[in-house]
């Protein structure tokens, strides 16, 4: 089974509007971490936001927030006030606490295009 599922291959959003990128995950490990990365056309991977499984509050970092719904196993990224520079690929990823390698498992990504 897929550990991380991103069901939106591509999304459009109008500049200055908010957009939600979906991510669902599958794990039986009680301790895990969820990450979002941005990959512009240059290929670099830029860390955006992190949510721990025991965190009570939803994570926020500037214009990025993570809508964490533990019971539904979803960790959607919300980008507020979209900017043209937000056009990129976005990846959701998970790390499980019982995995001693601490490797990140990535979803297939969502390509976001911000329209002027």
Partner 1 sequence: SQTIHQWPATLVQPVGSPLSLECTVEGTSNPNLYWYRQAAGRGLQLLFYSIGIDQISSEVPQNLSASRPQDRQFILSSKKLLLSDSGFYLCAWSPGQGVGDGYTFGSGTRLTVV
Is residue 109 at the binding interface for partner 1, with CB under 8 A as the rule? yes
Is residue 113 at the binding interface for partner 1, with CB under 8 A as the rule? no
| 108: alpha, beta or left? (left if phi > 0; alpha if psi -120 to 50) | alpha
Q: Which two tokens stand for residue 67?
A: 């809508």
| 68: alpha, beta or left? (left if phi > 0; alpha if psi -120 to 50) | beta
Determine the interface stretch with partner 1 among 16-24, 29-37, 60-68, 80-88 (rule: CB under 8 A): 29-37
Determine the interface stretch with partner 1 among 11-19, 45-53, 64-72, 75-83 (rule: CB under 8 A): 45-53
Is residue 90 at the binding interface for partner 1, with CB under 8 A as the rule? no
């Amino acid at each position: 089974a897929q550990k991380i599922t991103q069901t939106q291959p591509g999304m459009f959003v109008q500049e200055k509007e908010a957009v939600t990128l979906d991510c669902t995950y599958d794990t039986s490990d009680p301790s895990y971490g969820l990450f979002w990365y941005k990959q512009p056309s240059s290929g670099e991977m830029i860390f955006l936001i992190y949510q721990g499984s025991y965190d009570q509050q939803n994570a926020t970092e500037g214009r990025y927030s993570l809508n964490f719904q533990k019971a539904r196993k979803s960790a959607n990224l919300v980008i507020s006030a979209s900017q043209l520079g937000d056009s990129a690929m976005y990846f959701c990823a998970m790390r499980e606490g019982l995995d001693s390698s601490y490797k990140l498992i990535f979803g297939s990504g969502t390509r976001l295009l911000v329209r002027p």
